[in-house]
């Protein structure tokens, strides 16, 4: 049922879209060459699959809230494939959900969080940027809203609409600042990386790597942990429940480390007292088989970081990168992370190969590694000398 009373934000009526006809009318009235702002609300952690619960979309003169429970989002595809830019804040999670619902990601992206990082702001929140750029204090009291509830209250709809209402103005303000520093191309290049980076996928056989205290599982029991993690994930997926509701990490590690001999022993393990008996017996059989099978299929835990003898080099180069970030007023995390530096030192593909990073950092790091340059401390700064 549609909310009865309209609400407004920035003198724009916020429309509630809960039918396919309404969405078609909205899109038919829009120019596909005009940038549009996007956001989503979703429920995560309560099921295996993240549940998309609301889509907010705004043009300079129109704001709409789309109910994905009642409306197919497939008609958004021509808009996403058009020449206009989608403006989002911290876009990665939204893009993954929208791709599943629409069938494609927007072909052009401007991420206001990424843009803020190139102006020296450290992973700025939407509320912080809106306050800084627009002088508006967003009400964030509804962050823990249950977005599955219908109808949404006026206050909640206003909160949802505010997440897209200021993105156009923010984009223009950010672009002016970026242009004055010659960084517009850097931002668009990084936004394209965000736009095209696929959702991370974990090989089921490697899920056990992410277990809390996985490194404490005895070597001879790791195959059992690997297989039990696969079983837990399959069971969670089939029931659309969080994996921890099937078996907690703590319980899984305990079972794999010291396999129980019978259901009675399983029931004594913390977190296992309520396991269904058929599942408990399946776990016992799985662990028993793993204990007697060849470990050839085991995906061993990856070594962490670079070789120990290279760690001092990584630390030095990371200090150089952090100094460069301070010098040019850019968020250090967007310029170079420890992982980026480690990959460079280990001669692996790295984000530092991006052209804009090479110009302001990577070329100097490579000179340091080759001995063509040295570093020194000049008062309170690290400097590079050729």
Please give the torsion angle defined by the CA atoms of residues 65, 68, 72 and 77, in that order, rounded to the nearest 10 degrees: 60
CATH 3.30.420.10 residue ranges in the chain? 7-196
Q: Is 91 helix (H, G, I), strand (E, B) or coil?
A: coil
Token pair of 199, please? 């959702």
- What was the pLDDT predicted at 187? 98
Q: Using CA atoms, how far apart are residues 278 and 281, in angstroms rounded to an integer?
A: 5
How many CB atoms neighbour CB 11 within 10 A? 6
CATH 1.10.150.80 residue ranges in the chain? 204-297, 308-385
Q: Is 345 in contact with 314 (CB distance < 8 Å)?
A: yes
- What was the pLDDT predicted at 5? 65
Q: Using CA atoms, how far apart are residues 239 and 237, in angstroms rounded to an integer?
A: 5
Token pair of 323, please? 């100094």
Q: Using CA atoms, how far apart are residues 182 and 315, in angstroms rounded to an integer?
A: 29
pLDDT tens-digit profile of 233-272?
A: 999 999 999 999 999 999 999 999 999 999 999 999 999 9
- What was the pLDDT predicted at 1? 42
Q: Is 181 in contact with 203 (CB distance < 8 Å)?
A: no
Q: Is 213 in contact with 283 (CB distance < 8 Å)?
A: no
Q: Please tell me the CATH superfamily of domain 308-385, with its number.
A: HRDC domain (1.10.150.80)
Asked if CATH classification 3.40.50.300 holds for the domain at 7-196, the reply, yes or no, is: no
For residue 65, the cross-strand partners are 16, 56
- What was the pLDDT predicted at 140? 84
In which residue ranges of the chain is pLDDT below 50? 1, 3-4
The CATH number corresponding to 204-297 among 1.10.150.570, 1.10.150.80, 3.30.505.10, 3.40.50.300 equals 1.10.150.80
- What was the pLDDT predicted at 80? 98
Q: Using CA atoms, how far apart are residues 381 and 224, in angstroms rounded to an integer?
A: 52
How many CB atoms neighbour CB 227 within 10 A? 22
Q: What is the DSSP letter of 58?
A: E
């Amino acid at each position: 049922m549609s909310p009865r009373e309209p609400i407004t934000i920035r003198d724009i009526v916020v429309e509630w879209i809960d039918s396919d006809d309404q969405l078609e009318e909205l899109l038919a009235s829009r120019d596909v060459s005009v940038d549009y702002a996007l956001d989503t609300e979703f429920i995560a952690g309560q099921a295996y699959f993240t549940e998309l619960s609301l889509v907010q979309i705004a043009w300079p003169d129109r704001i709409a809230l789309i109910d994905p429970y009642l409306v197919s989002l497939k008609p958004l595809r021509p808009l996403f494939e058009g020449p206009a830019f989608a403006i989002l804040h911290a876009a990665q999670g939204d893009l993954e959900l929208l791709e599943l619902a629409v069938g494609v990601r927007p072909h052009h992206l401007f991420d206001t969080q990424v843009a803020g990082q190139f102006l020296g702001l450290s992973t700025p929140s939407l509320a912080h940027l809106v306050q800084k750029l627009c002088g508006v204090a967003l009400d964030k009291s509804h962050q823990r809203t249950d977005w599955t509830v219908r109808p949404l209250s006026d206050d909640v709809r206003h909160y949802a609409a505010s997440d897209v209402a200021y993105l156009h103005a923010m984009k223009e303000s950010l672009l002016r600042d970026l242009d004055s520093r010659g960084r517009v191309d850097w931002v668009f290049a990084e936004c394209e990386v965000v736009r095209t980076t696929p959702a991370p996928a974990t090989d089921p056989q490697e899920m056990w790597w992410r277990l809390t205290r996985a490194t404490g599982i005895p070597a001879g029991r790791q195959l059992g942990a690997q297989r039990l993690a696969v079983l837990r994930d399959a069971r969670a997926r089939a029931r659309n429940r969080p994996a921890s509701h099937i078996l907690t990490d703590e319980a899984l590690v305990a079972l794999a480390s010291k396999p129980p001999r019978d259901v009675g022993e399983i029931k004594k393990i913390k977190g296992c007292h309520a396991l269904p008996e058929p599942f408990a017996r399946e776990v016992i059989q799985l662990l028993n088989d793993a204990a007697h099978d060849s470990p050839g299929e085991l995906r061993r835990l990856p070594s962490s970081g670079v070789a120990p003898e290279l760690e001092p080099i990584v630390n030095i180069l990371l200090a150089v990168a952090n100094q460069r970030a301070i010098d040019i007023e850019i968020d250090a995390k967007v310029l170079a992370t420890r992982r980026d530096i480690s990959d460079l030192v280990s001669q692996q593909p790295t984000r530092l190969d991006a052209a804009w990073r090479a110009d302001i950092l990577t070329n100097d790091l490579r000179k340091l590694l080759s001995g063509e340059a040295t570093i020194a401390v000049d008062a309170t700064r690290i400097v590079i000398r050729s």
